[in-house]
Amino acid sequence: MTNLTVEAIELTRLYGGRPAVSDVSFNLTKGQVLGFLGPNGAGKSTTMKMLTGNLAPSAGSVKICGIDMIENPKEAKALIGYLPEMRPLYKELTVDEYLTIAARLHRVTGKHIKKAVENAKERCGLSHMSKRLIENLSNGYQQRVGIAQAIIHSPMVVILDEPTVGLDPIQIRDIRALIREIGGEHSVILSTHILPEVEMVCDHVQIIDKGKLVFNGGIDVLKRQRVGNKLLLGFNKAPTVAELLKIKGITEAEAVDANMMRIRFADGADDNKVAHEAIVQAAVKNKWGLFQIAPDHTSLEDVFVQLTYQDNAADTA
């Protein structure tokens, strides 16, 4: 019995000979919430469609709890709940009517349907909306109904494609809390282009760019990736950029304001030590009045741009 809920093995999808997704591999275990992040056109939806069995890969394979999606699609799909970007709602139905149909479509057996509907409504905070027509619900509640249909059969894996797009801040907060709660019992894949969402909801992140995975690891690892090679320096009599660049180990320098300078040095612990010491020595020698030397934490946005921009720069070079 495998502990893995999702195995994506060297997934590739070509459109007209051009790869939209190339050689993407990753695993997911129970209880993990994975953020699948990438700019528009990166290949997120194509990957989600292959994972859910809605699109055949040109090469590679998908296994859900060890069951091969191509060899046993019915069994594999039964273990997945999917909320596509376009919500699959019948707005002329009430919440109860719609969720009952969703339960049947997911092959919940007759005597278990009522319980499944009640359970999904309770988890998604919809119990008081049972008899309401879906078209009369707010955007946020309609999204809850979309999530309720994805978890109604208690699938092992829940896949949500851009679940908070178009919601207001309170609705976004509620839906994120709901996703975290679902993550306790299921594996969740959250496709999004919103970085703070990944930071708040996910424990693991993958970044895809131009069809290729450019990062696969924990959120903390992602944050650490670029932290440590930038410093924020405060001076009473700030030096010029040219003066800072003369210091051994410093590769970039810029003025933040009249007193603050941001510098970057080459990656590596030794470079870090050398640059710190050399800055202090130069500051004393030149009477720059150094009053602050602190790590400059790169934002997640910066990391994302660095990871995805490197390729773009190479392309246009």
* By the rule CB under 6 A, 84 interacts with ligand ADP: no
How far does CA 36 lie from the centroid of its chain?
4
DSSP state of 257: S
How far does CA 115 lie from the centroid of its chain?
32
Measured from the CB atom, is 47 or 229 closer to ligand ADP?
A: 47
Q: Which of residues 5-34 bind ligand ADP (CB under 6 A)?
A: 15, 20
265 close to 249: Cβ distance less than 8 angstroms: yes
Determine how many CB atoms are found less than 10 A away from the CB of residue 161: 21
Number of residues in the chain: 317
d(CA 175, CA 82): 15
* By the rule CB under 6 A, 312 interacts with ligand ADP: no
Measured from the CB atom, is 38 or 60 closer to ligand ADP?
A: 38
* By the rule CB under 6 A, 43 interacts with ligand ADP: yes
Q: Identify the residue among 31, 41, 289, 295 touching ligand ADP (CB under 6 A).
A: 41
* By the rule CB under 6 A, 143 interacts with ligand ADP: no
Segment lying near ligand ADP (by CB under 6 A), choices 35-43, 114-122, 174-182, 247-255: 35-43
* By the rule CB under 6 A, 35 interacts with ligand ADP: no
Q: Identify the residue among 22, 44, 123, 148 touching ligand ADP (CB under 6 A).
A: 44
User: Token pair for residue 43?
Assistant: 């290949």
Sheet architecture: strand order including 157-161: 80-83, 157-161, 187-192, 33-37, 204-209, 212-218
Measured from the CB atom, is 165 or 177 closer to ligand ADP?
A: 165
* By the rule CB under 6 A, 40 interacts with ligand ADP: yes
Residues binding ligand ADP (CB under 6 A)? 15, 20, 38, 40-46
